[in-house]
Amino acid sequence: MSFRLYRERVDTLKEAVLGRFRHRKSYDDFWALRNVSFDVRPGESVGLIGHNGSGKSTLLKIAAGVLKPTEGRARVDGRISPMIELAAGFDPDLTGRDNIFLNGALMGHSRKEMAGKLDRIIEFSELGEFIDQPVKNYSSGMYARLGFAIAADVDPEILIIDEVLAVGDERFQAKCMERIRSIRQGGCTIFYVSHSMNQVVELCDRVIVLHHGQLAFDGAPEPAIARYRELQHFQPPPATQARMA
């Protein structure tokens, strides 16, 4: 996937017309992802790790269909959740309840289907009476709760889960992990993007490491994490390791 990084944005007619005469390339090509090839079998649960800017989101955007690859191709068999983030489809001015329907529709589910899931989603999110408040008044934890509750209930065949679990409180995180485990047992393919190595180890059978847009490692979780840290020249301080273990 290549992006054009414009030195000066050419978004006016004048620039577009004059640019034609000047024959000057006004952008640099930047490859956010290149030579990244892999297959995922149905039911696999794949972790995606890498430094900030390594191309994780770009990869998810291509998988979900938000971006078309510049070269190469991405083939997805099965219903993939089209959102690259759990709360991506929220409209801040609408209430939690309205957003459940909006998100459902963005994922291609009918109003009727969503009405059937409504009570379960509200219950799982534990938002109670706040469900009828505009979501702009929600805390980031509440946002994440609703986002996860919706995504977990629309049963896609391929599920994308991002960093959302980081903002929920401990108890809710545990509840989400429980839910993800049961979704996984149901045969759903999962893409899990996280900077929390513990959760990656816990949830994934396989981990892909991206480093500056290249595929650096593809295999079992422990060696993947070791490779990721080696590439970053980083070892977590022992105190953190002890506390998290």
Partner 1 sequence: MTALVRPFGELWKFRELISLLVTRDLKVRYKRSVLGMGWTLLNPLLQMVVYTLVFKTIMRVDVPQFPVFLLAGLLPWTLISASLTGAAHCLLNNQGLIRKVAVPQMVYPLAVVASKLVDLVLSLVPLAIIAALLGRPPGLSWLGLAPSLVLVTLFSSGLALLFSSLTVFYRDMRHLIDILIQVWFYVTPVIYPASYLEKLPYPALRWILSANPATPIVRCFQASLYEGRLPGASLLGLAALATVVVLGFGVLVFTSREAQHIHHF
> Which residues contribute to the site for partner 1 (CB under 8 A)?
3-4, 11-14, 16, 61, 64-68, 82-85, 88-89, 91, 93-94, 98, 101-102, 105-106, 108, 110-111
- Toward partner 1, which CB reaches closer, 4 or 25? 4
C-alpha separations of 47 from 127, 165, 224 in Å: 29, 14, 10
CB of 18 to partner 1, least distance (A): 13
Evaluate whether 194 touches 200 at the Cβ level (below 8 Å): yes
Nearest to 63 by CA among 145, 156, 141, 143: 156
Nearest to 153 by CA among 191, 106, 120, 177: 120
CB of 119 to partner 1, least distance (A): 19
Q: How many CB atoms lie within 10 A of CB 134?
A: 15
Residue 124 has φ and ψ, to the nearest 5°, of -65, -40
CA 44/CA 55 separation, integer angstroms: 21
- Toward partner 1, which CB reaches closer, 10 or 166? 10
CB of 211 to partner 1, least distance (A): 24
Residue 40 has φ and ψ, to the nearest 5°, of -125, 130
Beta strands 45-50 and 27-31: pairing type? unpaired
CB of 222 to partner 1, least distance (A): 32
Nearest to 191 by CA among 106, 4, 74, 64: 64
CB of 224 to partner 1, least distance (A): 26
CB of 80 to partner 1, least distance (A): 8
- Toward partner 1, which CB reaches closer, 105 or 167? 105
- Toward partner 1, which CB reaches closer, 65 or 219? 65
- Toward partner 1, which CB reaches closer, 66 or 177? 66
- What single letter denotes the amino acid at residue 212? H
- Toward partner 1, which CB reaches closer, 80 or 216? 80
